[in-house]
Amino acid sequence: MEAYHIDRFGSVDGIVLRSSEDPRPGPKDILMRVRASSLNYRDLMVLKGGGRGPTKLGVVPLSDGAGEVAAMGDGVTRVKLGDRVIGTFHPRWFGGPLSADYLTDRLGANLDGMLAEYAVLSEEAVVPLPSRLSFEEAATLPCAAVTAWVALTGHRRVTAGDTVLTQGSGGVSVFALQFARILGARVIATTSTTEKAERFKALGASDVINYTETPDWDERAHTLTDGRGVDCVVEIGGPGTIAMSLRALAVGGHVSLIGASLSPAGTMLDPLLLTGRGITLGSISVGSRADFEAMNRAIALHRLHPVIDRAFPFAEAKAAYRHFEGRGHFGKVVITNG
């Protein structure tokens, strides 16, 4: 098979394509014929030799991929040959509370990931594709979509009539808008361009704040909610936005912290922002297989389709990385593989 490997950290130039024998699944494992994969911000962190948790040279990158079951090891019962499946982000977190032990397995970091023709996965580490989704659409789900779903349904569940504020046009933010809408919430999106604002409105955002024109977007969020504030902020901006996200909240509101949004270390917050209004913060570490399956049921029921910014062929994987690095995408960047 052909697979990309990270031969050196630092830049896209450190990714090389190599050929090897097709892998074979062991007991309780499946061999997935990878039909599509997608990029996440964490993949850029891995490429630079960082990110949270173990990383190794020579690894096949990318955590997210979808395909079909091409072969099975002994004892597999959860799937059958030919099934269309998606890999889970945390291969051993099936449900319940997050455990530190689950964080040691990192596809595309210390375990071979999805930027290959084939991937070996535990039968427990896959879920079926939601109906009506293509492989390309399904490949966008394991990290960004599950993160957005848990941001809205985990620590504090968004309900009909709530107002959710999203930041930017990356995969998590676009999924958060889509999921908030099917949960019955109003969405206020922030972005930097008129073109993206129009796309957000087409997806169902009730209001869009251009933060280059309105840098005090927290105040604008209060104005748009008649002084009340928003019920949930999906916080992806980091140290530059966390204080504003807290100020944008209504009494009893919640901030869902995504990924490395509180890096770098040493960022200080005024403690008065965290007291006296009953607000809460919760850090999101993607989600479990049970979260993934619940999200997929909602996707199928509401016939939701992920937003794909651009799809690149497998041979142009490095170009996909460079396009993603440019941060101009709206939605997900996908790599297709036959």
Model pLDDT for residues 25-56, shown as the tens digit of each residue: 999 999 999 999 999 999 999 998 876 778 99
Model pLDDT for residues 318-336, shown as the tens digit of each residue: 999 999 999 899 999 999 9
Identity of the amino acid at 173: S
> At which residue do the structure tokens 């999924």 appear?
175
Task: List the beta bridge partners of residue 283.
Answer: 257
Grade residue 267 by pLDDT with cuts at 50, 70 and 90: low
Nearest to 237 by CA among 327, 135, 116, 139: 327
Alpha-carbon span 290 to 87, nearest angstrom: 13
- Of the CA atoms within 13 Å of residue 227, those in its CB half-sphere come to 0
Per CATH, domain 2-140+306-336 is 3.10.180.10? no
What architecture (CATH level 2) is domain 146-284? 3-Layer(aba) Sandwich (3.40)
Mean pLDDT in residue range 139-159: 97
Give the pTM: 0.95
**pLDDT reading at 263 higher than 80:** no
**pLDDT reading at 264 higher than 60:** no
Model pLDDT for residues 272-283, shown as the tens digit of each residue: 787 888 999 999
Alpha-carbon 66 to chain mean position: 14
116 touches 3 (CB < 8 A) = yes
Query: Would you state the pLDDT for residue 261?
Result: 45
Query: Would you state the pLDDT for residue 262?
Result: 45
Stretch (H or E) spanning 282: strand 280-284
Sketch the domain layout of the chain as residue ranges.
2-140+306-336, 146-284
SS3 79: coil
Grade residue 106 by pLDDT with cuts at 50, 70 and 90: very high
Roughly how many angstroms between the first and final C-alpha of the chain, as a whole number?
13
Mean pLDDT in residue range 107-117: 97
**pLDDT reading at 309 higher than 70:** yes
Grade residue 158 by pLDDT with cuts at 50, 70 and 90: very high
